[in-house]
Structure 1
């Protein structure tokens, strides 16, 4: 027997996603986009900041590169813990509440990090910063994807996700300018104050996901108020709001039980693998590339600026998002990761030629960051609403351990005195593994198609 509430005869009902799809993007949706973009941008800035201030820490505190390992990886442990806990919380409590708390936490912790007196204090505060960062990213992705028209979801989500590499790149450019004038602590002060100001805006303006409101059987008045900002007065024509899922719902409890249900299990594992491998590359290079290039003979300022081109390459994600809305996304991303492997390998072969090195680093950044960023909308589209925040967050949370592995991998290669060519050859291998994982995932999408099993539909009343 179907436990869902039955609408009275003559009730005027509408599917909320269809209502969103039938209207052009409103100013309200662009406001949601802007706030999520800023959250992700600040996430990228704070995440990458520690790598850019590392040379200054070595000089001021008289520490060695291996001693920086715990500091560089502390935020990554926090990122993993934050993501793994925040996804299920957001599927229970709502996207807005968890997202606002997350931004507040990483803002306060980043500001406090600027006043750390030693490596131990800095590592502790970076862990707390990571808790907020880890919770913020997946919920921003989830909230944005749930306010997007279906036909433009990957494009807009990828465009929003460009904030992360842009924020990381801005961190490099700002660090190169700020550190000589005000010292390394100024970078962390900026990384703390900006999120705290954004938190105030989020409390006042950021809406809850309308899809979440429907699945949680919230009042018609609350759902109608959210949709009125998109569809205008037309929403008053309806007194019932439904949500027909585009993916099979196998567990009414949602959360991790949904993400690990049999139709999703293999696809989930492949997403985790791809994201893990992508972050092995990203954090291995973002944390160590300035030092690697400096040791290869480049001036510190030049090494920092060239390294900043790597995360800046993520702007290419917009084009991939557009392609994902039109072609089979798993195959597209598998190709992206295969090309990433070739591009990263080439960096280690061109260190002595600065002009070609600049081009190589930027091209590798475009391919790698575009492929990595595109995994977020891929995951958001893979899961139904009741498991979407958990699915995206756990992919990112498990993937964060790849960031930890990447930082220690490059540190270990340094201890072994590996050549810069060897370092980049080794770091190129995870991209091939990510490509293989996405090729395997192609075969799992059919199992989650609601044409094969009836999709669940929530009804708000």
Structure 2
């Protein structure tokens, strides 16, 4: 048939089944966030080696974790919103190339001070890339399957983290700690040409900007080849003009949701990065070998991967806020249990797996929820700033880990303290869901779906 009317690209995507083209986008964005996951886990395993080789104290290692996370925060806050101005794809290519080069340079750092500075630069690129990968994936997913597809894509982070743990242990043993950073930089540089060739720009972004009719037609034809779109004009529902992308996050209909989402992200990433950064070191205090510490810590990411898939599936069928709220609360319990079970490796691995399933899996779901909450005109900014505020929590968590080690607190007390922010994140999600349920009849969002309400 021939289309002669105005086509809403959001509704067009929702009406059609997921195509191979859309699955390709999910896969490419999966690779991007997997590199972030590898980088996050790898630095945690490098730290004990640096502690020995460079004779560093825990208080000296804390800035190493904090620098990379500070870079992630600044990158998300500064570069992320450019995705709403210049496009998702263009920013992704620049950021992936930037953090790859910075990581390669980190492999040749002559001192802890230089390494800290280069870790900050690596974080800048990562901070801009990951939220835009989430946004791009979300904008090519039909609403009925969006949570599952976005969480599946973001499993790249947890899988990359798990592989980072195993790979770091092997690379350090055979080639030293510098090889881990070198590999973490070469891989993203190598995939930039692939991304430039195969990754499309968001059709929702193009439709909201106007003047890209032929480009949109070519892209939508890859989703539904049998539909004739020649001569159509395109719009993206929910897109508005005027004001800065950041200012749009504080529109009256978005303000409360923005603040509650930020609280959940802050608390969630505080827990995730504290455990990712310090769990190997904490386990070593029980007398565990580097290999045992690596295997137990990897279970956190394995659990997070499975949790993301299961929770994403549930989010498409039940109220997504309540699913995440309950999962975060359970994460607090399992995190606290790690401290009492740390001396028994298999029990510690089980507790770490369950904690990862709940908190890391929920964080993946929270990214999908954020992308669904914000409209097209400020979606990349909304996801970026939520991650940026969350990265502030990750900096606090990483520094807090070093502080608790320096204070000599017992492991049960340390992990009990770490479990508290997860419960707070759960409360924020519950409040977010309650507010959205009450506001749903008048909310103007184009994307929001409360399955089960």
Does TM, scored on the shorter chain, surpass 0.5?
A: yes
Of 236, 240, 244, the match for 1:243:
236
* Equivalent runs, 1:366-405 vs 2, <5 Å: 366-405=357-396
Shift of 1:198: 1.0
Of 112, 117, 122, the match for 1:124:
117
Alignment CA distance shift 1:86-1:235 (3 Å)? farther
Partner secondary structure for residue 352 of structure 1: coil
Q: Tell me the equivalent position of 2:98.
A: 105
What is the rounded CA distance, in whole Å, between the counterparts of 2:108 and 2:61 in structure 1? 17
Structure 1 residue runs without a partner (length 5+): 1-9
* Equivalent runs, 1:237-316 vs 2, <5 Å: 237-245=230-238, 252-253=242-243, 255-315=245-305, 316=307
- Equivalent residues of 1:35, 1:202 under 8 A apart: yes
What is the rounded CA distance, in whole Å, between the counterparts of 2:228 and 2:312 in structure 1? 30
Of 424, 437, 460, the match for 2:428:
437
Q: Tell me the equivalent position of 1:190.
A: 183
Shift of 1:18: 2.1
What is the rounded CA distance, in whole Å, between the counterparts of 1:318 and 1:379 in structure 2? 17
Cα deviation per residue 1:252-305 (whole Å; 9 max; x = unaligned)?
A: 435112111111111111111111101111111111111111111211221122
Cα deviation per residue 1:380-433 (whole Å; 9 max; x = unaligned)?
A: 111100010000000000110101100111111111100111110000000111
- Equivalent residues of 1:251, 1:257 under 8 A apart: no
Q: Tell me the equivalent position of 2:201.
A: 208
Q: Tell me the equivalent position of 1:51.
A: 44
Q: Tell me the equivalent position of 2:192.
A: 199
What is the rounded CA distance, in whole Å, between the counterparts of 2:172 and 2:228 in structure 1? 53
What is the rounded CA distance, in whole Å, between the counterparts of 1:453 and 1:64 in structure 2? 52
Partner secondary structure for residue 256 of structure 1: helix
Partner secondary structure for residue 234 of structure 1: coil
Q: Tell me the equivalent position of 1:318.
A: 309
Partner secondary structure for residue 56 of structure 2: coil
What is the rounded CA distance, in whole Å, between the counterparts of 2:240 and 2:211 in structure 1? 22
* Equivalent runs, 1:332-343 vs 2, <5 Å: 332-343=323-334
Q: Does residue 234 in structure 1 map to residue 224 in structure 2?
A: no
Deviates more, 1:37-46 or 1:18-27: 18-27
- Equivalent residues of 1:251, 1:258 under 8 A apart: no
Of 56, 59, 65, the match for 1:72:
65
Partner secondary structure for residue 116 of structure 1: coil
* Equivalent runs, 1:138-153 vs 2, <5 Å: 138-153=131-146
Q: Does residue 173 in structure 1 map to residue 163 in structure 2?
A: no
Shift of 1:58: 1.4
What is the rounded CA distance, in whole Å, between the counterparts of 2:121 and 2:284 in structure 1? 30
Q: Tell me the equivalent position of 1:427.
A: 418
Deviates more, 1:292-301 or 1:14-23: 14-23
Q: Tell me the equivalent position of 2:450.
A: none
Q: Tell me the equivalent position of 2:399.
A: 408
Cα deviation per residue 1:160-198 (whole Å; 9 max; x = unaligned)?
A: 011101111111101111111111111111100100011
What is the rounded CA distance, in whole Å, between the counterparts of 1:359 and 1:290 in structure 2? 15
Shift of 1:445: 2.1
TM-score relative to the length of structure 2:
0.95
Q: Tell me the equivalent position of 1:359.
A: 350
Partner secondary structure for residue 343 of structure 2: coil
Shift of 1:238: 4.9
- Equivalent residues of 1:281, 1:403 under 8 A apart: yes
Structure 2 residue runs without a partner (length 5+): 448-453
- Equivalent residues of 2:240, 2:377 under 8 A apart: no
Alignment CA distance shift 1:254-1:455 (3 Å)? farther
Cα deviation per residue 1:100-144 (whole Å; 9 max; x = unaligned)?
A: 111001100111100000001100100000001111110000000
Q: Tell me the equivalent position of 1:40.
A: 33
Shift of 1:447: 7.2
Alignment CA distance shift 1:12-1:250 (3 Å)? closer
Shift of 1:237: 5.0
Cα deviation per residue 1:360-388 (whole Å; 9 max; x = unaligned)?
A: 11111111111111110110111100010
- Equivalent residues of 1:12, 1:237 under 8 A apart: no
Alignment CA distance shift 1:222-1:61 (3 Å)? same
